[in-house]
């Protein structure tokens, strides 16, 4: 594989199957913009990570993730720290990472954008050994992410996350947590704890308005023991980035945090779901090169 040619890794299921249709025309679209690019499709979960890792080992200097935030996450996990840059061809309904990087919304504009883009080194987060680009969270966030897929298939991921959040507010109660931020300990019952590298998650929720992708810090949002009505109000404000009130919802910055739980709970990282009873989250400064305007 030639290092002079980019590699586009396409998730064929992204965009309700749009990725499968796009894969057949993507190489020609890039060629018109002056970008030489080979195209491969993923066969299942984890495949994008393996393809990206092989691409950088074979000397590719540019790897393009064509899919949603989950695809970008997988590709980044295969190439962080390598002498190569990550580009995006957003096909998901949320595309929070592309939003943070200022990518154009129209797919027709993306080949020319990528052909003319410059490289920038950014931070990535790490939770229990796995990288994340936007955010990782535990509490109601993980509860929502574990249930959002069914409604997302009907109304789209952004609306699905909102619908799932409302349903979870009815069902989910704040859980006891011990949170250690750069050595400082806070304990209590928390509805949600989110560590953000980017500004958005959940398909447009403005969880960390002041987050920077290259400051070497995580923006940590702690939502305390909120009742159902207060949770609904906070959810609405979350889309505007006005949810932090300094009392029940606070924010801190840290390079590393540890979250200890009484039992395993769903956790979310860039829209993907796992389970854990303990989380170690840290920042890896400027560990990933990306294409930006």
The answer to whether residue 268 is catalytic is no
Handedness of CA 78, 80, 85, 91 (dihedral sign): positive
Give the separation between CA 156 and CA 141, rounded to whole angstroms. 18
90, 103 Cβ separation under 8 angstroms: yes
Catalytic residue among 27, 119, 256, 272: 272
Block residue for tokens 């769903």: 266
Per DSSP, the chain holds a count of helices (H) and strands (E) of 9, 14
Task: Report how far residue 220's alpha carbon sits from residue 225's, in angstroms, rounded to the nearest whole number.
Answer: 16
User: With contact defined as beta carbons under 8 Å apart, do 192 and 140 qualify?
Assistant: yes
Q: Which residues of 149-180 are buried (b: 16+ CB within 10 A; e: fewer)?
A: eebbeeebbbbbbbbbbeebbeebebbebebb
Q: Could you give the residue numbers annotated as active site?
A: 272
């Amino acid at each position: 594989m030639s290092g002079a040619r980019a590699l586009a890794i396409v998730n064929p299921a992204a965009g309700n199957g749009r990725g499968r249709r796009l894969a057949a025309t993507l190489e020609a679209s890039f060629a018109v913009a002056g970008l030489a690019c080979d195209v491969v499709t993923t066969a299942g979960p984890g495949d994008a990570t393996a393809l990206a890792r092989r691409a950088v080992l074979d000397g590719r200097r540019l790897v393009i993730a064509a899919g949603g935030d989950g695809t970008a996450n997988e590709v980044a996990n295969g190439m962080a720290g390598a002498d190569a840059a990550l580009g995006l061809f957003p096909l998901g309904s949320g595309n929070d990472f592309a939003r943070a990087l200022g990518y154009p919304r129209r797919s027709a504009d993306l080949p020319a954008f990528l052909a003319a883009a410059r490289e920038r080194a950014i931070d990535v987060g790490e939770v229990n050994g796995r990288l994340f680009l936007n955010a990782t969270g535990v509490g109601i966030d993980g509860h929502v992410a574990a249930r959002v897929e069914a409604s997302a298939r009907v109304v789209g991921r952004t609306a699905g996350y909102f619908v799932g959040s409302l349903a979870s507010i009815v069902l989910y109660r704040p859980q006891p947590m011990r949170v250690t931020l750069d050595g400082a300990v806070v304990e209590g019952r928390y509805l949600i704890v989110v560590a953000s590298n980017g500004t958005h998650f959940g398909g447009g929720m403005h969880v960390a308005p002041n987050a920077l992708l290259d400051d070497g810090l995580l923006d940590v949002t702690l939502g305390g023991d909120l009742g159902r009505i207060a949770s609904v109000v906070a959810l609405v404000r979350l889309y505007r980035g006005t949810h932090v009130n300094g009392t029940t919802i606070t924010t801190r910055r840290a390079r590393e945090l540890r979250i200890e739980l009484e039992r395993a709970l769903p956790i979310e990282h860039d829209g993907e779901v796992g389970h854990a009873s303990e989380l170690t989250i840290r920042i890896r400064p400027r560990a990933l090169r990306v294409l930006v305007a």
